[in-house]
Amino acid sequence: MLPVLGVDADDTLWENEERFHEVEQRFRDLMVPWAGGDATDAALLAAERENISRHGYGIKGFVLSMVLTAVEISDGAIDARSLAGIVGWGHEMMAHPIELLDGVPEALDDLGATHRLLLITKGDLGDQMGKVDRSGLADRFWRIEVVPEKDVPTYRDVLDRHGVDPAEFTMVGNSVKSDVLPVLAIGGRAIHVPHTTTWAFEKPDPADLDGVDFPVVDRLTDVAALL
Among residues 95, 110, 144, the one where a domain terminates is: 95
Q: Dihedral angle at the C-alpha atoms of 73, 127, 89, 92, nearest 10 degrees?
A: 170
Quote the CA–CA distance of 75 and 14 in Å, as a whole number: 38
What CATH code is carried by the domain that includes residue 182?
3.40.50.1000
Shared domain check, 219 and 123:
yes
Domain containing residue 198: 4-14+98-226
Shared domain check, 185 and 212:
yes
Shared domain check, 162 and 80:
no
pLDDT at 16: 93
Among residues 57, 74, 95, the one where a domain terminates is: 95
Quote the CA–CA distance of 22 and 71 in Å, as a whole number: 21
Shared domain check, 65 and 123:
no
Residues with Cβ within 8 Å of residue 151, at least 6 apart in sequence: 182
- What letter represents residue 20's amino acid? F
Instruction: Please calculate the CA angle 128-98-83 and round it to the nearest 5 degrees.
Output: 70
Quote the CA–CA distance of 122 and 142 in Å, as a whole number: 17
Strand 170-173 relative to strand 189-192: parallel, antiparallel, unpaired?
Answer: parallel
Shared domain check, 110 and 37:
no
pLDDT at 197: 84
Q: Name the residue among 218, 216, 6, 12 with its Cα closest to residue 111.
A: 6
Quote the CA–CA distance of 221 and 103 in Å, as a whole number: 6
Task: Give every residue of the chain whose pLDDT is below 50, as ranges.
Answer: none
Shared domain check, 215 and 107:
yes
- Tell me the per-residue pLDDT of 90-109, one tens digit each, with 9 for 90 and over: 999 999 999 999 999 999 99
For residue 202, report the phi and psi dihedrals to the nearest 5 degrees.
-100, 5
Count CA atoms closer than 13 A to 147's CA, side-chain side: 22
122 and 147 Cβ atoms separated by less than 8 Å: yes
pLDDT at 54: 84
Shared domain check, 42 and 152:
no
Beta strands in the chain (DSSP E): 4-7, 116-122, 143-147, 170-173, 189-192
Among residues 43, 67, 95, the one where a domain terminates is: 95
- Predicted TM-score (pTM) of this structure: 0.91
Shared domain check, 58 and 169:
no
Shared domain check, 169 and 200:
yes
What CATH code is carried by the domain that includes residue 23?
1.10.150.240
pLDDT at 168: 96
pLDDT at 53: 82
